């Protein structure tokens, strides 16, 4: 006699447990500004529609990341049509009490890093951000993304190389301005 398949989790439970992970994943994938909230809602609309088909073969975070990846890609494709411009100031709000020139420089450096990250392949970008910026270990990244640990190491190595090349080009171009 076959075991009955486990019932699909409820949307409220998935949202409560994974909303922050979805938000962070969308950010890792380069969704920013007003689009971030929209994309977050869109992910959970997709989850609502497809939750009954979730079969548990992959972990919930891995399944959610796949949805995040598709939603982020769609938002990135549509962003140029909306002519969106970031309204973030050139300094961190936290730094408003600090030296304005230093705050401005940090803000510009952060934007340059974001611009270079935007040039990376999404799969490489996610692994690089998770490991280098968020400090997540490779085995945990693999589990969250539903990929082998060796793939994480391979993407991390390639992402570091691509990031370094892009930053070098950016610094050279800035020197010519």
Domain ranges of the chain: 1-88, 99-177
Q: How is domain 1-88 classified at the CATH fold level? A: Rna Polymerase Sigma Factor; Chain: A (1.10.1740)
Residues 5-35 pLDDT 10s: 566 689 999 999 999 999 999 998 888 888 8
> CATH second-level architecture of 99-177?
Orthogonal Bundle (1.10)
| Cα 15 to the center of its chain, rounded Å | 18
Tokens of 127: 């692994």
Where residue 171 falls among pLDDT bands split at 50, 70, 90? confident
Residues 38-53 pLDDT 10s: 999 999 999 999 999 8
DSSP 3-state assignment of 137? coil
- Report the pLDDT value the prediction gives residue 97, as an integer from 0 to 100: 55
Residues 105/103/162/118 CA torsion (nearest 10 deg): -110
Q: Any idea what the Cα angle at residue 18 is, between residues 13 and 21, rounded to 5°?
A: 175
Q: What does the pLDDT average to over 122-142?
A: 91
């Amino acid at each position: 006699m076959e075991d009955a398949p486990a019932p699909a989790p409820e949307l409220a439970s998935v949202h409560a447990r994974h909303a922050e992970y979805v938000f962070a994943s969308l950010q890792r994938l380069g969704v920013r500004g007003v689009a971030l909230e929209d994309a977050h809602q869109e992910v959970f609309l997709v989850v609502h529609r497809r939750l009954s088909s979730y079969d548990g073969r992959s972990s919930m975070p891995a399944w959610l990341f796949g949805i995040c990846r598709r939603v982020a890609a769609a938002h990135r494709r549509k962003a140029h049509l909306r002519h969106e411009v970031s309204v973030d100031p050139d300094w961190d709000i936290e730094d408003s009490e600090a030296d304005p020139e230093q705050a401005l420089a940090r803000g510009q450096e952060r934007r340059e890093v974001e611009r270079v990250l935007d040039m990376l392949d999404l799969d490489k970008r996610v692994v690089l951000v998770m490991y280098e910026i968020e400090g997540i270990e490779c085995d945990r990244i693999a589990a969250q993304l539903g990929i082998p640990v060796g793939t994480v190491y391979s993407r991390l190595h390639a992402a570091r190389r691509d990031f370094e090349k892009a930053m070098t080009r950016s610094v050279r171009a800035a020197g010519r301005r």
